[in-house]
Structure 1
């Protein structure tokens, strides 16, 4: 059975729960090797996962944010790297449905490839010279007009899923100093991946460097014009906190299992009976509950909101990511305190959760930008009252 054959959230979850069963064991291997989980992606493709947010009129499943975010959290409980990776694809496709700025033939061809072949897309916007594009740096990657389209040259970093991508959405500075978004295919001559990803966290995302060596693409593959640092509110980016919430839940589940079974001879029973252990477990449960209410409450509001109302949600979206990710970091830390020194052993997944969850602090939007945005909105409210 695949996702096309069911209609309810519970049915979606049932299918995903079966698909992700082997992901946890594979996660340890990919973390150790720094390799990409191709089999995980193949398993997700086998049930139609890449088409979750493709509109129904194009053959996709057309799920809204509240429907697909819980599936991302489930995948993250099994393997954070896989969840974060496929989340970029699902989210970007979701955003395309909202923006409707691309040339129709290009967009329809992309949708068709996703639905029929499970094609995978991600964006590559970060560059070593500019840092995070959310900070407003202009790309050093260039786009020059040529007779048959555009000539692209440059280098991108943090290209998640690099070995598995079919399409890559890149930003480049044009001759008139505007910044364009261009759609590339991995088969375009001059597209090259250099395997540079060697971090301690999210090792399975294979976020290698992308090189564009005089890549020529068709004129209509200039799909959008963007302004660096000026981002409209994007509900799809909630896939980021959903991922780290899933990792936090995995850590809590491990701590619960460990505390229920570990019984040192200094105690009459397992450590779960100790008040200090119960307090930490309870604190984690409260934090998980609060994070879910916040995350899925904002997601539901996004789904209900008009285009005009969504323009006012930048602060809430950023606050959801800020709260959930920082809560996830604290939850994993407390889970490790429950387990004790055993949490540092490589044979246990907690040490991987600890490393992976910290990557969320460096995904957009950054904490400082969110807090400045919230402060600015608060001061504006005071000015309006006065």
Structure 2
């Protein structure tokens, strides 16, 4: 019988305590949490989704989602940064579970401590996975050279490999969307331009590709532009949405815990009673708990479906977009209420709640954004708009 999954084994309390202590420093100084990454690498965290025979921990996507919730409760920016690495390892696992070893090199590299970054987002590109403004030019030997600009490239100071996409418009069968992995070299420039309201430690800088080369064995897909049933596209969307939902669910849980602690610690000058006995405070915290409690089961259910290769067909997109949207909107509501429970002191920039308040805002900007999520759900329930 397989042993029960124990999140503390992978993220022990003392490790989380160190990460939590560093988080405000990286937020204040706008720096990448190198020490956090070193600790997580030493703990084998980068390879949690790689199979044991490949050197990893062999965890399921559902188990990784639980761990990301736990990590985000200690250091949201660290969790979000690592999320982008775990997206690629999760995609590699999705493919491997379906008999496709296209990304085995990702799993082996991650298990060995290598860092993979997500270089898909582009300014103004609402096609996301289905189109690109980046040029992908064949090199004549099966490889490609990529020229373009990617935004929100988390892990910018530390990644070893960058997963990107671009549009091939010159091959005989063009146009084709090309997905490939680049190694860091002088043809890739990371701008030092990450100066944001929250999630500052992710250092999700703009990345310029100047003919960056992907060798033939790192070109993993050539697909027609537009929506595709390819397992790579499904894997990217599924793992991305589930792990993003996990990070913001972890933020919500931390805000709820802080609100509970604050309510118990504060006492009314008027009555002398604990704020935990105040009916208005109790109602607000109950509302927070109602919102939070709905999230982990949803994440677990969809993660299990991905792991079990359940076929939701065309519903997958709306289910995943809906999960991410509900998680980030609920998390924002929970943090808003936690600020009110905390009182005026929570408005000071040095408080953890103040940082969570800024960090949680980033959730609404990740795909699927609110407009995309609502469009997906409307189409799923009402059908497409008549031409």
Q: Deviations over 1:131-164 (max 9, x none)?
A: 344385x322212223454322222111011111
Look up the match of 2:183: 185
Look up the match of 1:122: 117
SS at match of 2:164: strand
Q: CA 1:241 to 1:227, structure 2 compared with 1: closer, same or farther past 3 Å?
A: farther
Q: CA 1:273 to 1:120, structure 2 compared with 1: closer, same or farther past 3 Å?
A: same
Q: CA 1:159 to 1:226, structure 2 compared with 1: closer, same or farther past 3 Å?
A: farther
Name stretches of at least 5 consecutive residues in structure 1 with no aligned partner.
Answer: 1-5, 382-386
TM-score by length of 2: 0.88
2:90 to 54, 78, 94: 94
Any conservation in 2 of the 1:241–1:324 contact (CA below 8 Å)?
yes
Q: CA deviation at 1:229?
A: 5.2
Of the structure 1 ranges 94-103 and 216-225, higher mean CA displacement relative to structure 2 is found in 94-103
Any conservation in 2 of the 1:17–1:74 contact (CA below 8 Å)?
no
Look up the match of 1:224: 221
2:76 to 80, 93, 97: 80
After TM superposition, the structure 1 = structure 2 runs for residues 103-118 of structure 1, keeping only pairs within 5 Å, are 107-116=103-112, 118=113
CA distance in 2, matches of 1:257, 1:182: 47
2:264 is aligned with 1:254: no
1:163 to 139, 148, 157: 157
2:303 is aligned with 1:299: yes
2:167 to 173, 191, 197: 173
TM-score by length of 1: 0.88
Any conservation in 2 of the 1:189–1:216 contact (CA below 8 Å)?
no
Any conservation in 2 of the 1:232–1:311 contact (CA below 8 Å)?
no
Of the structure 1 ranges 218-227 and 22-31, higher mean CA displacement relative to structure 2 is found in 218-227
Q: Deviations over 1:316-335 (max 9, x none)?
A: 22221121211111111111
Look up the match of 1:243: 247
- Aligned residue pairs total 369
After TM superposition, the structure 1 = structure 2 runs for residues 193-342 of structure 1, keeping only pairs within 5 Å, are 193-227=190-224, 230=227, 231-232=233-234, 234-237=237-240, 238-306=242-310, 308-309=311-312, 312-342=315-345
SS at match of 1:365: coil
Of the structure 1 ranges 276-285 and 262-271, higher mean CA displacement relative to structure 2 is found in 262-271
Q: CA deviation at 1:336?
A: 0.8
SS at match of 1:171: strand
